[in-house]
C-alpha cells in the first residue's frame, strides 16, 4: 500500500493545502497524471467549490483533479482511478456518502492493490478500521461505523494537548483514554496539526514539525518524533 494520511488541510494563517503540498508532490513523484477527488465530507459548501480548491493546489504540483460527484458510476470511477484523494470536513457525512455509494469496499480493494491514497482530516479517519476516533459531531447516521481499514490502528486528527482555562469538559486525551479502555487491542495515534503519516508497503514514517502521541490500554502515552520507526503500529 501507499498512503499519505494528513492531520489537517490548513495551518493557522496559511493557505489551503500549502503545508502538505511538498510532501504530496514527493509522495506522488509524477507517477500519476490525474487524481480522483472524493468531496463527500463537505457540508456547508458545494462539491464544485471543494473540487476547485483542491484543483488549484494540485495544479501547482502538476496533477489534474476530477471529483467523483461528476461520475454516473462512483464505483467505476474508483476502479479506473490512478490515485484516490479524500478531503476533510465532517467524517459522519463522508462515511454516510461512502456507504450510500457502495464505495467502502471498492476503495479498499483499489488501495490494497497499490493505488496511492491521500486523505486529510476526515479523509484520514476513513483510512482506519472505524471512524470512532473522529472529533466530529454525528450530524447524520453513517449506516455503520466501519471504514476502509487500510491500517489496523485509529487516528485522531487535529490532536490537541490543550485544556482551555474555564473548560470543565474532558480533554482530548481523556476521550482517547475512554476509547482504549473499551478497545484495549487498538493503538490510537494523536496526529497534531501540520503532521502526517506516510505508509509505503510496511514502513510508516511521521512527517511534520511536531511529535505524535500514541495511546494503548495499560501503557503510558508515548511521544514519537518524525523519523522514528512506527512499524509497531502495524502489528
The answer to whether 100 and 125 have CB atoms below 8 angstroms apart is no
For the question of residue 121 being annotated catalytic, the response is yes
Contact 210, 224 (CB under 8 A): no
List the grid coordinates of 73.
458510476
Adjacent-strand bridge partners of 118: 4, 85
The residues that bridge with 67 in the sheet, in sequence order, are 37
- Which residue is catalytic, options 158, 161, 201, 220? 158
Rounded to whole angstroms, the Cα distance separating 14 from 9 reads 10
Nine-digit cell string for 108:
479498499
Long-range CB contact pairs, 108-111, < 8 A, 24+: 108/148, 108/149, 108/150, 110/78, 110/79, 110/81, 110/84, 111/1, 111/3, 111/84, 111/148, 111/150
Query: In the annotation, is 136 catalytic?
Result: yes
The total of other beta-carbon atoms located within 10 Å of residue 68's CB is 24
Catalytic position from the list 9, 67, 81, 121: 121
Q: How many CA atoms lie within 13 A of 16 on its CB side?
A: 13
Report residue 227 as a C-alpha cell. Answer: 523519523
- 21 backbone φψ class: left, alpha, beta (φ>0; ψ -120 to 50): alpha
Q: Which of 136, 141, 146, 161 is catalytic?
A: 136
158 belongs to the catalytic site? yes
Q: Which residues are catalytic?
A: 121, 136, 158
Amino acid at each position: 500500500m501507499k498512503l499519505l494520511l494528513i492531520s489537517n488541510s490548513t495551518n493557522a494563517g496559511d493557505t489551503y493545502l500549502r503545508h502538505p503540498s511538498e510532501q504530496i508532490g514527493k509522495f506522488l513523484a509524477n507517477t500519476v497524471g490525474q487524481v480522483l477527488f472524493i468531496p463527500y465530507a463537505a457540508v456547508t459548501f458545494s462539491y464544485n467549490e471543494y473540487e476547485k480548491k483542491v484543483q488549484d493546489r494540485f495544479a501547482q504540483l502538476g496533477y489534474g483533479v476530477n471529483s467523483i460527484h461528476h461520475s454516473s458510476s462512483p464505483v467505476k470511477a474508483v476502479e479506473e482511478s490512478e490515485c484516490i484523494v479524500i478531503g476533510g470536513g465532517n467524517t459522519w457525512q463522508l462515511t454516510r456518502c461512502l456507504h450510500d455509494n457502495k464505495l467502502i469496499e471498492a476503495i479498499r480493494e483499489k488501495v490494497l492493490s497499490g493505488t496511492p491514497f491521500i486523505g486529510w482530516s476526515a479523509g484520514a479517519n476513513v483510512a482506519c478500521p472505524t471512524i470512532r476516533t473522529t472529533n466530529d459531531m454525528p450530524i447524520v447516521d453513517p449506516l455503520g461505523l466501519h471504514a476502509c481499514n487500510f491500517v489496523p490502528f485509529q487516528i485522531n486528527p487535529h490532536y490537541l494537548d490543550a485544556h482551555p482555562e474555564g473548560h470543565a469538559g474532558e480533554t482530548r486525551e481523556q476521550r482517547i483514554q475512554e476509547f482504549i479502555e473499551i478497545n484495549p487491542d487498538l493503538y490510537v495515534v494523536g496526529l497534531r496539526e501540520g503532521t502526517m503519516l506516510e505508509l509505503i508497503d510496511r514502513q510508516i514514517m511521521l512527517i511534520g514539525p511536531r511529535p505524535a502521541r500514541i495511546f494503548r490500554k495499560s501503557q503510558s502515552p508515548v511521544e514519537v518524533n518524525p523519523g522514528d520507526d512506527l512499524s509497531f503500529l502495524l502489528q
